């Protein structure tokens, strides 16, 4: 969201955000430099999420790229479609975006350090709990465990979450 309080027809309002008024921009950036490769400004048209993603990624389809997405853009059907176009994805996923019922189940919550995963072909859906439950989707990683030094001891972490914590820190 680019802050904007002036008069503009395509200005959006989101009461849940710190910046309530502005221009909503979806973009593809290069991972190391942050250089913007492609962007789309939301203009109020009723475009579906999958259409927005494919418009942004059109120049990069069928070229074996890896895309790291926010939880707003991740969905199991989008992951399947992008995988068929040779684009692999990774990122967090919301509970209502295609997680299997046994992973959504609140009656059996995970304890701290526990993890669960499901596979649907090459798509990995994984939940892990530290202070809160983090749901991940990946067509890049597998569900292997690695030893990580933490407070003078070795702790086992899933390879997928280790990579996530390195990128976000």
Q: For 62-125, what is the HEC assignment?
A: CCCEEEEECCCCCCHHHHHHHHHCCEEEEEECCCCCCCCHHHHCCCCCCCCCCEEEEEECCEEE
What is the rounded distance in angstroms from the CA atom of residue 34 to the CA atom of residue 147? 30
Residue 71: both structure tokens together: 């939880």
pLDDT more than 90, % of the chain: 1
Overall size of the chain counted in residues? 169
For 168, phi then psi, to 5°, come to -85, -10
At residue 105, the pLDDT reads 67
Under the banding of pLDDT at 50, 70 and 90, the label for residue 107 is very low
Mean pLDDT of 93-107: 72
**Angle ∠(101,83,122) on CA atoms, nearest 5:** 55
Top-confidence residue, 100 or 73: 73
pTM of the predicted model as reported, rounded to 2 decimal places = 0.74
* pLDDT value, residue 76: 87
> Which of residues 141 and 66 earns the better pLDDT score?
66
**Helical (H) or strand (E) element with 49:** helix 49-57
- Residue 165 has what pLDDT? 40
Position 67 scores a pLDDT of 86
Report the pLDDT value the prediction gives residue 4, as an integer from 0 to 100.
82
Average pLDDT of the residues in 129-150 = 76
Res 154: pLDDT: 67
SS3 of the chain: helix, strand, coil, percent, to 5: 20, 35, 45
User: Could you tell me the pLDDT band of residue 96, with boundaries at 50, 70 and 90?
Assistant: confident
Average pLDDT, integer, range 45-69 = 85
CA max distance for the chain: 57
* pLDDT at residue 78 tops 80: yes
């Amino acid at each position: 969201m680019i802050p904007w309080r002036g008069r503009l027809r395509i200005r959006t309002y989101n009461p849940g955000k710190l910046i309530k008024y502005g221009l909503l921009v979806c973009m593809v950036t290069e991972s190391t430099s942050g250089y913007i490769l492609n962007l789309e400004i939301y203009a109020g048209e009723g475009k579906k999420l999958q259409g927005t993603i494919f418009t942004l990624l059109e120049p990069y389809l069928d070229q074996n790229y890896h895309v790291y997405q926010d939880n707003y853009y991740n969905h199991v059907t989008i992951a399947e479609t992008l995988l068929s176009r040779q684009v692999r994805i990774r990122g967090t996923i919301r509970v209502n975006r295609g997680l299997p019922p046994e992973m959504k189940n609140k009656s059996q919550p995970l304890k701290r350090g526990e993890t669960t995963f499901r596979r649907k072909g090459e798509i990995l859906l994984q939940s892990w709990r530290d202070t809160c439950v983090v749901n991940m989707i990946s067509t890049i990683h597998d569900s292997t465990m690695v030893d990580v030094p933490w407070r003078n001891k070795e702790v086992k972490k899933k390879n997928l979450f280790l990579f996530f914590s390195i990128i976000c820190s």
